[in-house]
Amino acid sequence: DGGITQSPKYLFRKEGQNVTLSCEQNLNHDAMYWYRQDPGQGLRLIYYSQIVNDFQKGDIAEGYSVSREKKESFPLTVTSAQKNPTAFYLCASNGQGKDEQFFGPGTRLTVL
Amino acid sequence: AQRVTQPEKLLSVFKGAPVELKCNYSYSGSPELFWYVQYSRQRLQLLLRHISRESIKGFTADLNKGETSFHLKKPFAQEEDSAMYYCALSGRLRSGYSTLTFGKGTMLLVSP
């Protein structure tokens, strides 16, 4: 079954803890993206990566970190420095020269 | 800087009524615009792009460069059209990849 998977679907975290969200794709896409979706805010770009071992900050990178050690994987860490981490997080990917991005099912993070 | 504006948070219509979801953009180059849709409990997916000039599920969108608009239209709304709709603008990077800037979204509710 091809596509993008995100895990877990729901995640609860205590304040002050770091947490890592998983994103995997088997579409052989070079580029991967992380967005945050909040009600009334649309999707905002956190980080993106165009190639393994390289990534760039998006519009709201503060309090987040990423790694891209493998083409298939682009995990996002929400650190304790992120002031308002409760949100729905979406991962996406696309191939070079292709504008259409394919999205994962999302992870809903709640900080207690 | 590129920007996408969707002025309506919610659009509520009756089945069979015409629908127009508004989208305006600002971009210094030649824009590439998309409409993405998120049905309840489904992942975000591409609905249509201005380059293809096709009609998907009865929806069309015309790029108007003079008015910097890309409104989504459907002559007769169906209940299954109820969803969150996002307008997005593609910004091409030198690498050949692109990032998407999303509007804040419009929730379309079609009542029987």
Q: Which residue has the tokens 């030649």?
A: B30
Closest Cα of chain B to A84: distance in Å? 18
Question: A15 phi and psi, to 5 degrees?
Answer: -55, 140
Q: What pLDDT digit, counting tens, does each position of B28-46 carry?
A: 878 889 999 999 989 999 9
Residues of chain A with pLDDT under 50: none
Share of chain B above pLDDT 70, in %: 96
Q: What pLDDT digit, counting tens, does each position of A50-79 carry?
A: 999 999 999 999 999 999 999 999 999 999
Residues of chain B numbered 42-81 and touching chain A (CB < 8 Å): 43-46, 49
Q: Which residues of chain B neighbour A45 with C-beta distances below 8 Å?
A: 99-101
CB contact at 8 A, B99 and B34: no
Question: A28-39 in b/e burial notation, b at 16+ Cβ within 10 A?
Answer: ebbbbbbbbbee
Q: What pLDDT digit, counting tens, does each position of B64-111 carry?
A: 989 999 999 999 999 999 999 999 998 776 666 678 999 999 999 999
How far apart CA B26 and CA A61 sit, in angstroms, is: 23
How far apart CA A27 and CA A37 sit, in angstroms, is: 23
